[in-house]
Amino acid sequence: MPLSKADFAAVLLTLELASLTTVLLLLIGTPIAWWLARTNSRWKQPLGAIVALPLVLPPTVIGFYLLISMGPHGVIGQLTQSLGLGTLTFTFAGLVIGSVFYSLPFVVQPLQNAFESIGRGPLEAAATLRAGPWDAFFSVVLPLAKPGFVTAAILGFAHTVGEFGVVLMIGGNIPGKTQVASVQIYNHVESLEYAQAHWLAGGMVLFSFIVLLALYSGRSRTRVWQ
Amino acid sequence: MIWPFARRTPAIRTVSGPGEIQARFKVAHPGFSLDVELSLPGRGVSALFGHSGSGKTSCLRCFAGLDQPANGYLQVNGELWQDSAQGICVPAHQRAVGYVFQDARLFAHLTVRRNLEYGLKRIPAAQRRIALEQAVELLGIEHLLQRLPGNLSGGEQQRVGIARALLSSPRLLLLDEPLAALDLKRKQEVLPYLERLHTELEIPLVYVSHSPDEVARLADHLVLLEDGKVSASGPLKETLLRADLPFVFEDDAEAVVDGVVSGHDPAYGLLALQLPGSSAGLQLPHAPLALGQPVRIKIKARDVSLSLQRAADSSVLNLLPARVVDWINVAEQAHVLVRVQVGGEQLLARITRYSFDRLQIQREQTLWAQVKSVSLLSAN
């Protein structure tokens, strides 16, 4: 058996983390993307820039600030302690929060593009057909933005799977709790277990390739709004 | 609207008064302003006519509530939709309007049938005044029901768009240049359906257009818009004939006349029409139509010339006894637009100022109008 028990646990944990993060990101990212796509507010550009920050910052920077704020003296830390939850550093919940920040632009930007390309036209048509704003959002915007949601979910999931720096900073390397696949590869290389590292690393390459292939072939079949 | 929070709004109020449309919209943006006050008939087709940028579409969007001017009033056949003085503005989705967009705006993810049902499903069954089958039949789209909008021609999309708007049982149907994006062939395909709407619907239609032909063919009431202001508003025929207007139709000044088919000459392929209140008739090349059928025709001012005597040997087919009503004589222009009475109808004649002076045209003078060309607008 090329993969050890710890390797399997790491892979499973990675998938768990990525799935949960993706679901949360779609819930959080949709209103943010909707707001960014529709607003004329002067806060549009600053908020857009903040959402895009993880694209350019080294993950260690995000991890560092999250570590500080989730620690016993940080803002989030104080809050979670007052709620009786303890601190989130070196926990799975902490990893989820970190991943949400880290992968946010990969979900918000495809959604924002999808909403912007739909434009006001279909919403106005829906309004003249007696659909209230919520009704129009669910009956017209969501179905028309479906390709955007698929892209956002795939990118959010895949990017979270590939996370390393943030995990190491706030999650450490606790087997079964915060030890994800990318960290496990690092462990194997540290201990010169190249064969083990190959299996995990090769698996990640294959996984990423399949995800991107699905994304690109799906994109070329997407119907364009007329 | 940023995020679609539903807003609670009070029930629509009714106001007493004549069953008609009263509207006042005031919008001021840098580079564009709209300041209109309209009183339109409570049924039939009212056309908003003007050049692009004259405020036609803005006006229509205010009717629908898609734009909500801070200063506005709108009452449609007794329903109050906006009164900024009382702080009332019914949101678009609570107004019983049908809106036909220039670009159809069908929902690309739904079949034609589901598009039609979209508005239908959203009004209580008791308020539905037209069945799906009726609308489908009225617009001739039975064969399209299972198709997706992306596979339809422009003309087909527009017909589906009209049926979809009708199925929301509107109390006011708004059409924003529904033919503008179509080529001539598609226009001819959709126009007969628009005429059917006119004759078969009890509700008022407001039709935005910059095509004099469409307006002349469809409208009962004409509103001329210029730079966001109303320059004329009144019954179609009267308004077209108002020679005092700085004419929007300019070189295309024309008169619209209603006549009745009185015969057909198969040897020469000529259709004979009788004008109301006149012994005079008109002939035009056209296929035969049923005797007694009412038709609407258009006579361009440039196709009408005037002569003091009946020309006995002219190639012009139509010579009508006419009486001069009035004229517009624009000093710097070479032409004069003369309004003449022919039986119960009026025509415009565009003649040179030179000829006008030479013929010494006077009010109440009787003369002959030679009509070089007549076009049939519609046969109802």
Return the sign of the alpha-carbon dihedral for residues B157, B159, B161, B164: negative
pLDDT over 60 (residue B10):
no
Rounded CA separation B54/B210 (Å):
10
Min Cα–Cα distance to chain A from B148, Å: 11
Please tell me whether residues B283 and B236 are part of one structural domain: no
Q: What is the CATH number of the domain that holds B367?
A: 2.40.50.100
Instruction: For domain A5-60+87-220, give the CATH number.
Output: 1.10.3720.10
Confidence (pLDDT) at A177? 87
Average pLDDT over residues A63-72: 92
CB contact under 8 A, B6 and A125: no
Angstrom distance (rounded) from CA A87 to CA A71:
6
Residue B211 lies in a domain: yes
Residue B29 has pLDDT above 50, yes or no: yes
Give yes or no for residue B205 having a pLDDT over 80.
yes
Contact A167, A98 (CB under 8 A): yes
Task: Let me know if residue B6 belongs to a domain.
Answer: no
pLDDT at B94: 94
Last residue of a domain, one of B248, B265, B291: B248
Where does the pLDDT of residue B250 fall: very low under 50, low under 70, confident under 90, or very high at 90 and above?
low
> Residue B342's closest CA among B374, B315, B313?
B374
The C-alpha atoms of residue B179 and residue B215 are separated, in whole angstroms, by: 12
Confidence label for B184 from pLDDT (cuts 50, 70 and 90): confident
Q: Is the pLDDT of residue B219 over 70?
A: yes
Is it the case that residue B287 has pLDDT exceeding 90? no
Average pLDDT over residues A184-210: 91
Confirm if B357 and B378 have CB atoms less than 8 A apart: no
Residues B271 and B353 in one domain: yes
* Segment B72-79 mean pLDDT: 92
B203 with B153, same domain?
yes
Range of the structural domain that residue B353 is part of: 252-379
pLDDT band at B120 (very low <50, low <70, confident <90, very high): very high
**Nearest CA-CA partner of A54 in A100, A112, A113:** A100
Q: What is the pLDDT of residue B186?
A: 78
Q: Are residues B257 and B221 in the same domain?
A: no
d(CA A28, CA A14) in angstroms, rounded, equals 21
Q: Which of A11-15, B133-137, B191-195, B270-274 is predicted least confidently?
A: B191-195
Chain B residues bordering chain A (beta-carbon distance below 8 Å): 1-6, 64-66, 91-94, 97-99, 101, 103, 105-109, 118-119, 122-123, 149-150, 164-165, 168
- Record the tokens describing residue B338, joined without a space: 């003369």
Please tell me the total count of domains within chain B: 2
Please state the rounded mean pLDDT for residues A144-164.
92
- A24: tokens are 């949360």
List the alpha helices (DSSP H) in A191-226.
194-220
Of B2, B6, B123, the CB nearest to A132: B6
Closest among B254, B171, B167, B261 to B219, alpha carbons compared: B254
Residue that finishes a domain, picked among B188, B222, B248: B248
Q: Does A216 touch chain B (CB under 8 A)?
A: no
Reported as a pLDDT band with limits 50, 70 and 90, residue A84 is confident
Taking alpha carbons only, the member of A214, A212, A201, A211 closest to residue A10 is A201
Q: Could you report the per-residue pLDDT of A111-133, keeping only the tens digit for each?
A: 999 999 999 999 999 999 999 99
B220 and B101 share a domain? Answer: yes
* Average pLDDT value for chain B: 86
Flag the least confident range among B70-74, B171-175, B189-193: B189-193
A156-183 core/surface letters (b: 16 or more CB in 10 A; e: else): bbbbbbbbbbbbbbbbbeeeeebbbbbb
CA distance A112 to A121: 16
The region that residue B87 occupies, defined by phi over 0 for left and psi between -120 and 50 for alpha, beta otherwise, is left
Structure confidence at residue A221 (pLDDT): 58
Q: How far is Cα A96 from Cα A109, in angstroms, rounded to an integer?
A: 20
Residue A224 has pLDDT above 50, yes or no: no
- Residues B73 and B200 occupy one common structural domain: yes
The predicted pLDDT at position B369 comes to 92
pLDDT tens column, B338-380: 889 988 888 889 888 889 889 999 999 999 999 988 888 876 5
Q: Does one domain contain both B33 and B95? A: yes
Q: Which residue has the higher pLDDT, A58 or A221?
A: A58
Kindly state the average pLDDT of the residues A19-34.
96
ipTM: 0.81
**What's residue B223's pLDDT?**
93
Which residues of chain A make contact with B5, given a CB cutoff of 8 A? 133
- Spell out the domain ranges in chain A: 5-60+87-220
State pLDDT tens for residues B293-328: 888 888 888 899 999 988 878 888 898 999 998 887
What letter would DSSP give residue A223?
P
- The pLDDT of B82-95, averaged and rounded, is 93
- Residue B5 is assigned to a structural domain of this protein: no
Q: How confident is the model at residue A222 (pLDDT cuts 50, 70, 90)?
A: low
- The reply to whether B242 and B265 lie within a common domain is no
**Residues B323 and B209 both lie in one domain:** no
Q: What is the pLDDT of residue B170?
A: 92
Residue-level length of chain A: 226
**pLDDT score for A215:** 81
pLDDT at B3: 40
Q: Which among A152-156, B181-185, B248-252 has the top mean pLDDT?
A: A152-156
CB B65 within 8 A of CB B91: yes
Residue that has been written with the tokens 């709209």 in this structure? B34
Task: Encode burial over B321-330: b for 16+ CB neighbours within 10 A, e otherwise.
Answer: bbebbebbee
User: For residue B371, which phi and psi values (nearest 5 degrees)?
Assistant: -105, 115
User: B44 with B120, same domain?
Assistant: yes
Is B193 contained in some domain?
yes
- B228 and B111 housed in the same domain: yes
- Whether B99 sits inside 8 A of A135 (CB atoms) is no
The pLDDT score that the predictor gives to residue B174 is 95
**Helix residue ranges per DSSP H, B290-345:** none
What is the model's pLDDT at position B193? 82
Q: If pLDDT is split at 50, 70 and 90, which confidence band does B185 have?
A: confident
Closest residue, chain A, to B119 (C-alpha)? A129
DSSP A73-119: TSHHHHHHHHTT----TTSHHHHHHHHHHHHHHHHHHHHHHHHHHH-
- Given a cut of 60, whether residue B246 has pLDDT beyond it is no
Distance CA B174, CA B169 (A): 12
Where residue B334 falls among pLDDT bands split at 50, 70, 90? confident
Using a CB-CB cut-off of 8 Å, the residues of chain A touching B92 are: 124, 127-128
**B201, B222, B248 - which closes a domain:** B248
CA distance B138 to B325: 42
Residue of A124, A133, A223 with shortest CB distance to B4: A133
CA distance linking residue B102 with residue B122, whole number of Å: 23
Considering only alpha carbons, which residue of chain A is nearest residue B104? Answer: A125
In this structure, how many other beta carbons lie within 10 angstroms of the beta carbon of residue A118? 18
Residue A184 has pLDDT above 50, yes or no: yes
Chain A residues within 8 A of B2 when measuring between CB atoms:
34-35, 38-39, 41
For A6, counting Cβ atoms within 10 Å of its Cβ (0-12 exposed, 13-18 middle, 19+ buried), the class is middle
Residues B183 and B330 in one domain: no
Q: Give the mean model confidence (pLDDT) for residues B120-137.
A: 90
